[in-house]
Chains A and B, each alone.
Chain A
Amino acid sequence: MNEILTPAIDWAMVGPILTLTVTACVVLLVAATPARRGPLPFILTLAGLGAATGSLLALWERSVHQSAFGNMLVMDRAALYMGGIVLFSALLSVLLSRQYLERVPAPAAEYYALLLLAAMGMLVMASSNNLLVIFMGLEIFSVALYVLSGITRDWLRSLEAALKYFLLGAFSTGFILYGMAFIYGATGSLDLLACCRQARDLLAGQGDSGMALVLLLGLALMIAGLAFKVAAVPFHWWVPDVYEGSPTPVTAFMAVGTKGVAFLVLLRLVTTTFGDVLVAQWTMVLAVLALLSMFVGNLVALVQRNIKRMLAFSSVAHAGYLLVAVAAGTDLGTSAMLFYFAAYMLTTLGAFGVASLVAETTEKGDQGYGMERYAGLSRSNPGLALAMSVFMLSLTGVPPLAGFVGKYFIFQAALQRGLEGSRIFLVLSVVGILLSVVSAAYYLRVIVTMYMVNPEGERPRVVTAPDTGFAIAVAALGLFYLGLYPTAVYDMTRSLHTTLQALAALWLG
Chain B
Amino acid sequence: MSFLHLIWLIPILPFAGFVINGLLGKRFLPRPVVSGIACLAVLASLVLAVGAIRDLHDEQGLADMLNNGTALSALGVRPSADGFGAVLGPTDPDRGLVLEASIPRARQIQWLWLSVGSVSVKWAYSLDPLSAIMLLVVLGVGFLIHVYSIGYMAHDEGFARFFAYLNLFMAMMLVLIMADNFLVMFVGWEGVGLCSYLLIGFNYREMFNPARHQSCADAGRKAFIVNRMGDFGFMLGMLLILVTFGSLDFGQVFRGVHALAEAPGSQSLLTAMALLLFVGAIGKSAQIPLFVWLPDAMAGPTPVSALIHAATMVTAGVYMVCRCAALFAAAPLALTVVAVVGGMTALLAAAIACTQTDIKKVLAYSTVSQLGYMFLAAGVGAFSFAIFHVMTHAFFKALLFLGAGSVIHALAGEQDIRRMGRLTRALPWTFGTFAVAAVAIAGIPPFAGFFSKDSILAAVFFEQPILWGAGAFTAGLTAFYIWRLVFLTFLSTDRVEKERRGHLHESPWSMLAPLVILAFLATVGGFLGVPAFLAESVPGLHAAAEWLPGYLEPVFRDARVAGTGMGALGFHGQAAVHGGVTAAGEWGLMALSVLLAVAGIAWAWLLHGRGGELAARMAAGLGSGYRLVRDRFRIDELYDRIILKPFYFMCRAADAFDRFVIDLMVNTVAIATEITGHVLKLFQTGSVRAYALSMFIGVVALLAFLVMS
Contacts and interface: CB of A to CB of B under 8 A. Distances in A.
A473 interface: no
Given A285-B705, A437-B229, A452 B695 contact: no
A384 to B, nearest CB: 14
A219 B703 CA distance: 9
B680 A412 contact: no
B677 to A, nearest CB: 4
Nearest to B698: A234
Interface stretch (B64-72, B344-352, B681-689): B681-689
Contacts of A234: 694-695, 697-698
Contact of B114 (A163, A175, A331, A405): A405
A454 B205 contact: yes
Contacts of B235: 408, 411, 433
Contact of B674 (A220, A302, A332, A398): A302
A502 interface: no
A360 to B, nearest CB: 23
Interface residue SS majority, chain B: helix
Contact of A303 (B117, B232, B677): B677
A409 interface: yes
Interface string A467-509: 0000000000000000011110011001000000000000000
A396 B215 CA distance: 23
Contact of B244 (A175, A227, A419, A494): A419
A188 interface: no
Contacts of A223: 702
Interface stretch (B85-93, B217-225, B454-462, B653-661): B217-225
A441 interface: yes
Interface in B244-277: 244
A235 B692 CA distance: 9
A447 B33 CA distance: 28
B676 interface: yes
Given A217-B707, A440-B224, A487-B112, A302 B243 contact: no
Nearest to B231: A437
A487 B115 contact: yes
A274 to B, nearest CB: 12
B225 A433 contact: no
A434 B707 contact: no
B701 to A, nearest CB: 8
B236 interface: yes
Interface string A455-471: 00000000000000000
A177 interface: no
B187 interface: yes
Interface string B44-73: 000000000000000000000000000000
B204 interface: yes
A228 interface: yes
Contacts of B686: 241
Contacts of B691: 164, 168, 237-238
Contacts of B694: 234, 237
The CB with the most chain A CB atoms within 10 A, among B221, B242, B676, B677, is that of B677
B114 A393 contact: no
B240 interface: yes
A281 interface: yes
A419 B709 CA distance: 26
The CB with the most chain A CB atoms within 10 A, among B116, B220, B244, B674, is that of B116
A296 interface: yes
A505 B135 CA distance: 54
A216 B677 contact: no
Interface in B158-200: 183, 186-187, 190-191, 194, 197-198
A92 B647 CA distance: 66
Given A164-B688, A412-B239, A437-B229, A303 B187 contact: no
A438 interface: yes
Contacts of B242: 412, 415
Contacts of B676: 299
B209 interface: no
Contacts of A445: 221
Interface in A222-251: 223-224, 227-228, 233-235, 237-238, 240-241
A216 B239 contact: no
A411 B238 CA distance: 10
A300 B680 contact: yes
A285 B191 CA distance: 37
Contacts of B703: 217, 220-221, 224
Contacts of A221: 699, 703
A130 B108 CA distance: 51
B699 A175 contact: yes
A448 interface: yes
Contact of A399 (B183, B198, B228): B183
A440 B699 contact: no
A484 B113 contact: yes
Contacts of A220: 699, 702-703, 705-707
A383 to B, nearest CB: 10
Contacts of A235: 695, 698
A281 to B, nearest CB: 6
B190 A399 contact: yes
A381 B242 CA distance: 41
A167 interface: yes
A285 B706 contact: yes
Interface string B101-130: 000000000011111110000010000000
A490 B111 contact: no
B111 A485 contact: yes
B117 A171 contact: no
A304 B680 CA distance: 11
Contacts of A167: 688, 692
B216 interface: yes
B402 to A, nearest CB: 25
A293 to B, nearest CB: 11
A430 B237 CA distance: 10
B688 A412 contact: no
A485 B114 CA distance: 7
A187 interface: no
Contacts of A172: 695
A128 interface: no
A184 interface: no
B224 to A, nearest CB: 6
Given A445-B221, A451-B204, A332 B116 contact: yes
Nearest to B215: A452
A300 B702 contact: no
B212 interface: no
A433 B684 contact: no
A230 to B, nearest CB: 13
B188 to A, nearest CB: 9
Contacts of A396: 228
A303 B239 contact: no
B162 to A, nearest CB: 13
A433 B232 contact: yes
Interface in B662-696: 670, 673-674, 676-678, 680-681, 684, 686, 688, 690-692, 694-695
A237 B702 CA distance: 17
A486 B114 contact: yes
B201 interface: yes
Interface of A: 163-164, 167-168, 171-172, 175, 213, 216-217, 219-221, 223-224, 227-228, 233-235, 237-238, 240-241, 281, 284-285, 296, 299-304, 331-332, 335, 393, 396, 398-400, 404-405, 408-409, 411-412, 415-416, 419, 429-430, 433-434, 436-438, 440-441, 444-445, 448, 451-454, 484-487, 490-491, 494
27 contacts: A168-B688, A171-B692, A171-B695, A220-B702, A224-B695, A224-B699, A224-B703, A234-B698, A235-B698, A281-B709, A398-B194, A399-B191, A404-B190, A433-B235, A436-B232, A437-B229, A437-B231, A440-B228, A444-B224, A448-B201, A448-B204, A448-B217, A452-B201, A452-B216, A454-B205, A485-B111, A485-B113
- Nearest first, the 6 A-B pairs at minimum CB distance are A452-B204, A237-B691, A452-B217, A234-B698, A299-B677, A303-B677
